Every structure is written in structure tokens, then in C-alpha cells.
Chains A and B, each alone.
Chain A
Amino acid sequence: MTDALEARLERILDERYHHLHPFNLRMHEGTLSRDEIRTWVANRYYYQTRIPKKDGLILTKADDAAFRRDWIRRIHDHDGEAGREGGLELWLRLAEAVGLDREKVATCGDVLPGARRACDAYVEFVASHDLLESVASSLTERRAGTIMVVRIEAWEKHYPWVAPDGLAYFRSRTVQAPRDAREGMAYVLEHARSPEDGDRCAHALERKCEILWSLLDAVEWGGSAPTLAPGMRLRSDREGWLTVGAERAVQLNASGREILELCSGERSVCEVGAAFAALHPNEPAAAADAYEFIEAMERERVVRCASRV
């Protein structure tokens, strides 16, 4: 049964891991803009910050000291320890290398709402599932080593404007991820004793693939260009500003109006966030507010976000 389960998990990764996501395909073929690279780096940092918390939750589920001794290494890999820098620090170096403000990235204040939901969903998944499913969900590491090798090569070739030492995180994972994946797979194959256990592991891995996929969806959304939907008009009346369309009218406060006026079709979601934040220098959450507002207006079909690819 273990061979069959391993093959099943590998097939899930072949079919659903985010190496197939259009954003990653574009990243590796070298067609991402600098802004797209930056959006990805800033948002993916939030994912990095969730990893040690997720691993902490896994530790609390384990009764076996040997398991915990091995697994805790993953937290050290990310957080660092005396004399060794961790993955979080290396990622912030990547952020600097692509031209982002390190401190700003570290606060995670400008993370896109969809990216935040995806990363939080991973921590919540682990919090609400047992040890076996939690370990199974980590098996996306199985492909992480390979994708890092592809990525390093692609970045060196296509994005020479990124300083080479910025890629240290990617390099570190080419060693760590295969080791973590080997240990994780061994644990799953040993502890998935029934067909039902196998199903649970498969579902956990599928869910994790969905989470990684939706993180990239969110990054793509950040690069899309919001405009008023066709037939929708921004106007004022004696009580203030509103949008009116075929099926709905939405009353706007001053911020809502400013954000919609910035949604000219030339700016991406991220650029609207930045422009809105520039108008409100004393409000640290301004960009995040703009993202949430655009998202809500898109849900109401007041705004349409068109892909610029």
C-alpha cells in the first residue's frame, strides 16, 4: 500500500503543484515585470512568516520526542539560530535585492487580502487537522527543491538586475527542502495505515496545493488593472459620491471615491494601493484598505479587474 500511496501523492504534485501556475511559468520563462517580481516577493514573505508558526503547531501534536527533535529543525531553518541566519532573514535580503523596503516588507502591512487568506488558511488547516494530515500537507516540499533549481537558473538568466546574493534563500532550500520532504514522506508512509488514512493524506496535500495556487492567484490579482465595470458610473449627488449601474448603487465615503478615481485602468491593484497610501501618509493601513475595498467592489461587480498579461 505504501508504494501506491506514494505514487498517489506524487501524482497530486505532478498535477496540482504551483510549478504549473501561469505566474510561475511566466516567472521561469523570464517575462515578469519588476513590479510583478516585487509583488510576489512582498506577498510571499507573509507565507514565510507563517511556516514556523505552522511547524510550531505540528510540534504540539507530536507525542514522540524523536519526531519533535527532527521537526524543530524546520523552525530553526526559518527563524535562524546562533551563528546561522534563517530563511526569514534571507527572504528579507531577497526583498532588498529586488528593490523593496526591507522594514516595510517585514511588517506585512501591504499583503494582498487573497495572499493573506491563503497563508492563514494553511496555518488554520494544520491547527484543525491531526498530525498525519499536517505532515502530509507539508509534502509540497517534495517539489520545492526542483522548483528552486529552475528558479535560480531563471533569475540569473532573466532578471540580472537582482543582486546575486539576493538568491541565497532559494539556494538554501535546494538542500533543506529535499531533506524535509524525505522525512515527511517517510513519516506519512509509515503512519498512514488504512485506506482512509491514505485518503486523508491525499486530501491534505490537495488542499495545500490549492493554497499555494491561490497565493499566486492573489499575486496576479495585485497586478491586474481595476476599472469601473462596464455601464458603471461614478457620480455625486447632494449627499455625496456614489457608483450607479444597471443593478446597484453604492454610496461611497471620501476614501472610496479616491480609490475608485485611482482605478483608471492604467494602474494595477498594487499601484492603486501605493497611490492611495501616498495620499494618506499617516495611515499605515491605507494600501491594505484600498485592496480590501477594490476586492469588495469587484465582488459587487462595481469594479472589474482586467489581467494585463
Chain B
Amino acid sequence: MAPRPWNLIAELTYRCPLRCPYCANPTNLDDFPATLDAAAWADVFRQAAELGVVHVGLTGGEPSVRRDLEEIVEAAAAAEHHVHLVTAGLPLDGVRLAGLVAGGLASLQLSIQDAEAEASDRIAGAPSWDRKISLAEAARELQLPLTLNVVLHRENLERTGTLIDLAARLGARRVELANTQYHGWALRNRKALLPTRSQLEHAASEVELARARHPDLEIVFVLPDYFADRPKPCMGGWGRKNVVVSPDGRVLPCHAASELPGLEFHRVPERSLREAWEDAPGMNAFRGEAWMSEPCRSCPTREADYGGCRCQAFALAGDASVTDPACARSPHHGAVEAARAESSAHSAWTYRGKT
């Protein structure tokens, strides 16, 4: 029997005014023209509540490029979900944010690319800093719980401590320092983004110092896969807790799973969300432990890490069903070591394509 999903990640669109080189969206964005309309999302939210979902993260792309975001927020709130909006901070503004809160928005995650304007705008590939800061101020004014999210990589990792101070100054309750996951555009730009070990160690010590400075701020910092010996329990396990619905209605175990070849997923509204969650062959491909091969199969940590990330296994080992190469026990761990050796300060990145 399929487990109960708790969280629905609703990718409302792949469109985004920013062009961050670490974006995990698919690189073939133009292949996804269709998007679910607000009525279709409302139906997804009702079905999700039936399945046991209690939390909806509205994300993208940039969800606020949708003119019907208000309607979507209200529909998610009407289905009793905690409604959490993940935004780059534009085109959303404070006035519109107040309306969303009135419609049932319960918390906000705002991304920022670096600790000061010029660097942040350069990484985002678009002027956006001022908008982000004023949105954070609007959230504070509205007493809307705010998480600041920063994707870390070679170019901004050295400002980890300053970024945490910024989060505290903006009144964030939580700051997520998310080391880049190498999917989508990020995989393409890996050479330019992958940090050095000494940068990471410095960042980790900055985090510890910042924890003492800001005892009330929840600081999330996890050593990235490429520098850890054990894989992460990606998405809390495949098809286990989180259900992703992509802009075109595909029901997925994670936002990147559609890039894995040979997996068949279902789509709403053609199928019910329940059918797509419980029965899609792709959804069941890596559920539980039956699919595992060695070294996962006999490994005591398989119950904690679920074999790691399937997309990373495919990207680095060419086979989504093998142990995540981030694991030091993987026979493909050499691919991670090779990528670390290959990263270079002299590499330029490619900005995410415009959509």
C-alpha cells in the first residue's frame, strides 16, 4: 500500500524572471507549454487533502508570475492546507502579499542569491535585490513567518555568516542554506558552481559562530552531497511523504524525476491524484526497498537514507536504480571525486534560459 503523502509541492509554472545558473528546473523548459489552470489546481488540492496532505508548497519557477495566484492560494486554504509560498520576490510585491495573506497564505519562503545587491543581482541574472528586500519587509509588517533561502555555491559560500546575519536582520524565523543540488541547469553549470572543500569547511564554521549570535533563528545548513560520505534521504524517500505536481500536471516523487528515462508517471486531471500517487509505475519504481541492489540492499543505513537520490544516481552513474554515487560505499563514488577535481574557479556559468 502506498504511504500517506503529507506535503504537496505544487509547481505552478516553470516561468521565472530570474536566470539563476543553479536552477533545478528542467533544461528543456520549452517542452512544457501546458499549465494547469486555477480550477484544476483547486481540484488537485481537494484530492490531496483526501490523500492525507496537510501542507501545500506553491513553487515554480516563480509562482507569482501567475495572475491567478490569489485564486490558487484561496483554493489551497479552502482545502484546509497550510499554504506556503516559495518566491524569488518578484513580480510579487507587498500589496499583493497582503492580499495573499488575507486569502489564507500562512508562510513565505523568499530566495536571495547573495548578501549584497550587486552580487545577488549578478547571480540572479536580473535586477531583483531591492524587490526581495522590500518583500521581506512587507512579510515582517504582515507578521507572516518568513524563511530566507539561499542556494550556496562557489560564488557566495564565503558570505555564509553575512547571509545569516541578513536573515536575522530581515526578521526571518528560519534560514535555509541549501548547497546546490546538481540537477537541471545546476548540473550543466557544475564546474563553475561546485565549491572547494576549504570553502565548505569555512562556511560550516561560520554557521556555528552564527548560531551563537542568533539563538532564535533556525539555521539549516547541510553539507552537500558531493562532500559527504553518506547520501541524503532525498525527498524523505521516493513516493513516501512528498508529492510533486509539475506545471503540466505530472504527478512525481520529486521535481527532477521526470528527467529519468523509462519511468511512466500519470498526469492530472487525466487520472485522479490518488491513482497517480498510488499506482503510477514510475511512482512505485523506487518505493520501499525491493528495488535496491548492493551495497544498499544489505546496508543498515538504508532505512535512514533510502539509498539516496535516484536522479543523482542517473546523472552520475547512468542508472537510476543503483546506490547514489554520493555514498562512499557506491562503486560509482569515483564520479563524485572526479567532479570535485574538475571544478574550477575559471569556469563561467551559463544562465538559465529565458522562458
Contacts and interface: CB of A to CB of B under 8 A. Distances in A.
Contacts of B80: 235, 237
Contact of A244 (B54, B109, B144, B174): B54
A242 B53 CA distance: 12
A245 B54 CA distance: 9
B79 to A, nearest CB: 11
Contacts of A235: 54, 80
A246 B6 contact: no
B218 A244 contact: no
Given A233-B106, A301-B218, A249 B54 contact: yes
A64 interface: no
- Give the size category of B's interface with A: 10 to 19
A190 interface: no
Interface in A224-283: 230-231, 233, 235, 237, 239, 242, 244-247, 249
A231 B145 CA distance: 6
A247 B174 CA distance: 10
B267 interface: no
Contact of B82 (A230, A239, A246, A301): A246
Given A230-B173, A246-B84, A237 B145 contact: no
B13 interface: no
Interface residues of A, number: 13
B54 A242 contact: yes
Contacts of B232: none
Contacts, number: 42
Contacts of B6: 249
Given A231-B106, A233-B106, A247 B147 contact: yes
Contacts of A247: 147, 174
A246 B106 contact: yes
B143 interface: yes
B352 interface: no
Contacts of B174: 246-247
A245 B107 contact: yes
Interface string B168-198: 0000011000000000000000000000000
Interface string B93-104: 000000000000
A246 B54 contact: no
A245 B84 CA distance: 9
Interface string A192-231: 0000000000000000000000000000000000000011
A245 B82 contact: yes
B11 to A, nearest CB: 18
A246 B218 CA distance: 12
B55 interface: yes
Contacts of A231: 106-107, 144-145, 173
A230 B143 contact: yes
B107 A237 contact: no
A244 B49 CA distance: 13
Nearest to B106: A231
B82 A237 contact: no
Nearest to B145: A231
Contacts of A246: 82, 84, 106-107, 109, 145, 147, 173-174
Interface in B1-18: 6-7
Nearest to A304: B216
A239 B52 contact: yes
Contacts of B143: 230
Interface in B133-157: 143-145, 147
A301 B219 CA distance: 12
A247 B54 CA distance: 11
A64 to B, nearest CB: 43
B107, B144, B174 interface centre (most CB from chain A within 10 Å): B107
Nearest to B4: A239
Given A231-B145, A246-B145, A247-B174, A237 B52 contact: yes
Nearest to A246: B107
Sorted nearest first, the 10 A-B pairs with minimum C-beta distance are A231-B145, A246-B107, A244-B82, A244-B54, A231-B107, A230-B145, A249-B54, A246-B84, A249-B6, A246-B145
Given A245-B145, A301-B218, 19 more contacts: A230-B145, A230-B173, A231-B173, A233-B82, A235-B54, A235-B80, A237-B52, A237-B54, A244-B54, A244-B82, A245-B82, A246-B84, A246-B106, A246-B107, A246-B145, A247-B174, A249-B7, A249-B54, A249-B82
12 contacts: A231-B145, A239-B52, A242-B54, A244-B55, A245-B82, A245-B145, A246-B82, A246-B109, A246-B173, A246-B174, A247-B174, A249-B55
Interface of A: 230-231, 233, 235, 237, 239, 242, 244-247, 249, 301
